Amino acid sequence: MMKGLYTAASGMKVQQINVDVIANNLANVNTAGYKRTQADFQDLLYVVLREPGAQTQSGFSTPSGVQIGSGAELVSTTKVFSPGVLEQTERALDLAILGDGFFEVDLPNGQKAYTRDGGLRLDANGQLVTAQGFKLSPPITIDAAADKSISVAPDGTVSVRDPVANTTSQVGTIQVARFANAAGMRSGGGNLLYETASSGTPTLAQPGQNGTGTIGQNILERSNVNVVNELVGLITAQRAYEVNSRAIRVGDEMLADAAQLVR
């Protein structure tokens, strides 16, 4: 059977994955701290019918060989950590990292996870938690009576002001984790990313130091998904899918022709 049929099928499969990735980006266009994923493709192995420089029958050495590709495949889906759109909010606990780095959270199973989503809340014990309820690491406890105002400085220090006593007290410092290769982190849903062997170990630092970003208060970082770019990607993916299906049809019709040879 003609190899080209499978080659074109691999092209269709690749575009299918491409559409899946784009659809996921579009679905998360309003997810705080979401980083868009980029699917990267590569060409598949080549069938070498004749090596470049091989001797032909007439004794010449061919300048170029005969290598025919076998299609395309997915090589990686990479998170692109460009900054997202910053949105001003009225909540004192909406924090954004302006620059590089992640908030570190403690999962109930003792594992650490990392997120760019700084829409924080206070739990029943007055601890700073993410929207899913995971505690910030190191934990910060705020005695939050309704009339107290919380302020977070760019360097991560959290202080609480008591308007009655007219005092300001520091309650802790938010730390920011950085990775050598953030793109190598594993995404685990729930806006959380995990450390892997290829991401390297996290380096915790106070915001603004060692190249980490600073903390912005009353700001939420939205996704860095650009709808127009994703839609353009969707269109090109659809067209590429179409032409590959067309290649399969042509191959099929050629085979049908060949089958008519013997009647």
Partner 1 sequence: MFGRGRHAGCQTGAVMAIAPAASNVPDPRGATRAIAYAIRGLERRYEVTASNLANLETAGHKRLVARSPGDSAGSFRTELDRAKSSASAVVRDFTQGDLVPDDDPSELALQGDGFLAVEKDGELRYSRGARVLVDPEGTLVEAHGGQLLGQAGPIRLASPLSTFQVERDGTVRSDGAEVGRLRVVAFVDPQVLEAAGGGLFRAPDGAEVVSAQETQVIQGARERSNTDAVRELVELIVIQRQYEAAQRALSVESELRKRLNESSS
Q: What is the Cα Rg of the chain in Å?
A: 27
CB 14 within 8 A of CB 210: no
Residue with token string 């007219």? 166
Q: What residues between 12 and 31 interact with partner 1 by CB under 8 A?
A: 14-15, 18
Give the one residue of 3, 23, 169, 188 binding partner 1; rule: CB under 8 A: 3
CB 205 within 8 A of CB 174: no
Q: Does residue 239 bind partner 1 (CB under 8 A)?
A: yes
**126 φψ region: left (φ > 0), alpha (ψ -120 to 50), beta (else):** left
**Contacts with partner 1: how many residues (CB under 8 A)?**
77
Instruction: State how far the alpha carbon of 250 is from the alpha carbons of 164, 179, 247, in Å.
Output: 80, 49, 5
Q: What residues between 101 and 130 interact with partner 1 by CB under 8 A?
A: none
Q: Does residue 52 bind partner 1 (CB under 8 A)?
A: yes
- Measured CA to CA, the distance from residue 114 to residue 188 in angstroms comes to 10
Q: What residues between 133 and 162 interact with partner 1 by CB under 8 A?
A: none
Give the one residue of 151, 210, 227, 235 binding partner 1; rule: CB under 8 A: 210
With CB under 8 A as the contact rule, which of the stretches 21-29, 113-121, 122-130, 197-205 interacts with partner 1? 197-205
Give the one residue of 16, 23, 30, 42 binding partner 1; rule: CB under 8 A: 42
With CB under 8 A as the contact rule, which of the stretches 24-32, 46-54, 133-141, 213-221 interacts with partner 1? 46-54
H/E element holding 151? strand 149-152
CB 10 within 8 A of CB 222: no
DSSP category for residue 108: T
Q: How far apart are the first and last CA of the chain?
A: 19
Give the one residue of 38, 141, 187, 218 binding partner 1; rule: CB under 8 A: 38
Give the one residue of 92, 144, 153, 183 binding partner 1; rule: CB under 8 A: 183
- Measured CA to CA, the distance from residue 197 to residue 207 in angstroms comes to 24
Q: What residues between 56 and 95 interact with partner 1 by CB under 8 A?
A: 56-58, 60, 62-72, 75-76, 78, 80, 82
Specify the residue, 62 or 111, whose C-beta has the smaller distance to partner 1.
Answer: 62
With CB under 8 A as the contact rule, which of the stretches 89-97, 127-135, 141-149, 179-187 interacts with partner 1? 179-187
Q: Does residue 190 bind partner 1 (CB under 8 A)?
A: no
CB 198, min distance to partner 1, A: 7
224, 246, 202: which is closest to 80 by C-alpha? 224
